[in-house]
Amino acid sequence: MNGKEKVLAAFGNAFGDTEGVRCFFAPGRVNLIGEHTDYNGGHVFPCAISMGTYAAVRKRNDRKLRFYSANFEKEGVLESSLDTLVPLSNKKWTGYPEGVVWAFEERGFKIPQGFDMAVFGDIPAGAGLSSSASLEVLTGFVLRELFGIRELTNVDLALIGQKSENEYNGMHCGIMDQFASAMGKEENAIFLDTNTMEFEYAPIRLDGMRLQITNTNKKHSLVDSEYNLRREQCQAALSDLQKKLDIKTLGDLTEEEFEENKDLIRDDVCRRRAKHAVYENRRTIRAVAALRAGDIEAFGRLMNESHVSLRDDYETSCPEADILAEEAWKLPGVVGSRITGGGFGGCTVSIVKDEAAETFIKELGRIYEEKTGYPASFYSLSIGSGPKEL
């Protein structure tokens, strides 16, 4: 069964029949470089992936919202209503779609009637490949299509998804994940300046090489609290810098400007966090320039530097992802490898030469299992497009 068939079957099981049901899809994302820069006014370079979340939906004649997930079968059908949406009140998975309904209403788009929605996702849970952002963008897309809210663009859907995650779910994420899901384009990554929201597509054509995702299979944990803490530390560093410098974000600084002024940052930890944000932003700009110039080796080196910075200065890596990246660097035909996403678990993304791909999977898999006692998972990355009706 493909994703559409699975989600339709789930709808039928949960809600009785599938008459008049419409099906939709929105992708997850992987970030190639530019980590923890999106809430620091920096650049990111993610792409949508072919894995994502499927929905089967039907309007209701009352104000009930009924949700069912084939990924959380045991939870059964979870019911709420358009009249009882309260931020931070729902810790279950339905907090994500509910939050998007809430954010639509906050933005002035009243949802006139309830709906039944079944979902099914093929993104491995806790892998840092944005299953939650894909569910948010999916819900936004569903609401726009179901209720004909034509004035909303896909960028609006990304912003609404972020608002719902920030305010309804209490995770103070940046815009990258929702943007990548809403604006994904096949065979392209998205070079986004989160300061201005200007973006360009950059074709990913890797002659003789491939993008490889490797899952630590360590579910990322503590993400929300540690993530929110990183944000606060960057904000504290910025406030210290602003006592002398006329800047709005850490993304406004070059490495040289940072080095000249870093002693303004009083706290040592905050100084390291800010260093990562500044350097990672500059690395991202350089990496995209290298890619455009056809210099994949330089792109790969910047990926490796990104990992080191996330490991040492930003401290959002974890021992498992360090094993994957550091062991990958030693293998033949590996152009670059780094942890991707929010961190504390999840996946690495690597560029691997075609002829080395088999050894990469075999050797890295063997070493990882030897060191951790459990296997990693390998997915070859195909870059997918944004949300769509099926």
Cβ-based nearer residue to ligand GLA, 98 or 177: 177
List the beta strands (DSSP E) in the chain: 22-33, 43-59, 64-69, 78-81, 115-121, 188-193, 198-203, 209-215, 334-340, 347-353, 377-380, 388-389
354 assigned to active site: no
Cβ-based nearer residue to ligand GLA, 3 or 42: 42
Cβ-based nearer residue to ligand GLA, 13 or 166: 166
Cβ(326)–Cβ(303) below 8 Å: no
Closest approach, Cβ 162 to ligand GLA, in A, equals: 8
Closest approach, Cβ 200 to ligand GLA, in A, equals: 19
CA 29 – CA 385 distance, rounded (Å): 10
- The packing angle between helices 154-163 and 131-146, to 10°, is 120
Q: What is the DSSP letter of 251?
A: G
Amino acid letter for position 65: L
Name which of 206, 185, 167, 196 is nearest 85 in CA terms.
Answer: 167
**Which of helix, strand or coil describes residue 383?**
strand
CA 128 – CA 137 distance, rounded (Å): 16
Cβ-based nearer residue to ligand GLA, 77 or 197: 197
Cβ-based nearer residue to ligand GLA, 10 or 176: 176
**Which of helix, strand or coil describes residue 185?**
strand
* φ and ψ at residue 295, rounded to 5 degrees: -95, 80
The number of beta carbons lying within 10 Å of the beta carbon of residue 232 is: 12
Closest approach, Cβ 178 to ligand GLA, in A, equals: 8
Cβ-based nearer residue to ligand GLA, 111 or 173: 173
Cβ-based nearer residue to ligand GLA, 165 or 240: 165
Name which of 120, 109, 117, 113 is nearest 79 in CA terms.
Answer: 117
Closest approach, Cβ 276 to ligand GLA, in A, equals: 11
Residues that bind ligand GLA in the complex, under the rule CB under 6 A: 31, 35-36, 38-39, 173-174, 176-177, 341-342
Closest approach, Cβ 173 to ligand GLA, in A, equals: 3
Widest CA span of the chain, in angstroms? Answer: 66
Q: How far is CA 386 from CA 29, 48, 159, 163, 179, in A?
A: 10, 7, 15, 19, 9
Catalytic-role residue among 38, 177, 252, 313 = 177
Name which of 133, 102, 96 is nearest 117 in CA terms.
Answer: 96
Closest approach, Cβ 379 to ligand GLA, in A, equals: 18
Residues 6+ apart with CB under 8 A from 89: none
Cβ-based nearer residue to ligand GLA, 171 or 361: 171
Q: How far is CA 259 from CA 157, 206, 248, 265, 320, in A?
A: 38, 35, 17, 11, 31
Closest approach, Cβ 35 to ligand GLA, in A, equals: 4
Report the length, in residues, of the chain.
390
Closest approach, Cβ 118 to ligand GLA, in A, equals: 25
Annotated catalytic sites, by residue?
177
